[in-house]
Structure 1
Amino acid sequence: MPNRKSLLIIPALLLAGACTNTGASYQPVIDGPIGPNYSNDLAQCQQLAASQATIDGSTAGNAAIGAAGAAAVTGIVQDSSDNLGRAAVAGALLGASADAIGKNQNKEVIVRNCMRGRGYNVVG
């Protein structure tokens, strides 16, 4: 049986590879002509999006909520405290990850809106 820890690496690598055109690095799909200022406009919009925090107080709060929720469910389902620590860690990671993913999506919205504000017809 393969090592369980090594099986966790594969999804992490796939997720990291899928994030190349997300967040502040997002390059929107433009319908119509692209003027000579496109590269400069895109860089400025991406910089604006990158200035937004990815991890802040809400990330810690979501990690705590995830930890508490996972530990509570594990305690109720298993009626034992054997795996509460592991469940709490997993829940904390999920809570923090969900918060970071949401902030990453907000950065894409910032890039889209910024480019629209500069006169580009952003379709995706």
Structure 2
Amino acid sequence: MKPILIAPLALATLLGACAEMGTDVTPVLDGAPTSQYQRDLAECRALARDQSQLQQETMAAAVIGAGIGGVLGEVDDDGDALGGAIAGALAGTAMGVGEASETRETIVLNCLRGRGHAVVN
């Protein structure tokens, strides 16, 4: 398969996985969980998954990465702007997915804290 076809597939896969990443955090509690804990955890995870702006931020990181990669690829001795753009898009997407995952994890933990659970991490 040609690199030009692999890149969009990899990008779509990373973006698709983004919505779930970070929501599977298993919080450490200071004390025993209450009877409400499992329900609250499920609701907080759903809240974190529903943050669509995180996908938009990840897509923006991919576009910025593609632009920077394209410019750097063009000024390189090989002059491969397309290869640079593809590599930059993948790197930007990976970075955006990582940041979105951390944000979702923080949302879950803060949501649980807000509902009165003694979350340590």
TM-score, reference length from structure 1:
0.71
- Segments of 5+ residues of structure 1 without an aligned counterpart are 6-11, 13-18
Q: Using the TM superposition, give the Cα deviation of residue 76 of structure 1 relative to its aligned residue in structure 2, in angstroms.
A: 2.7
> 1:115 — aligned with what?
112
In terms of Rg, which structure is larger? Answer: 1
Q: Is the 8 A contact 2:72 2:81 kept in 1?
A: no
TM-score, reference length from structure 2:
0.73
SS at 1:123's partner residue?
coil
From 75, 98, 101, the equivalent of 2:95 is 98
- % of aligned pairs identical? 36
- Segments of 5+ residues of structure 2 without an aligned counterpart are 4-9, 11-17
Count of aligned positions: 104
Q: Using the TM superposition, give the Cα deviation of residue 99 of structure 1 relative to its aligned residue in structure 2, in angstroms.
A: 1.4
Pair 61,50 (structure 1): closer, same or farther in 2 beyond 3 Å: closer
Q: Using the TM superposition, give the Cα deviation of residue 22 of structure 1 relative to its aligned residue in structure 2, in angstroms.
A: 4.7
SS at 1:25's partner residue?
coil
Q: Is the 8 A contact 2:73 2:83 kept in 1?
A: no
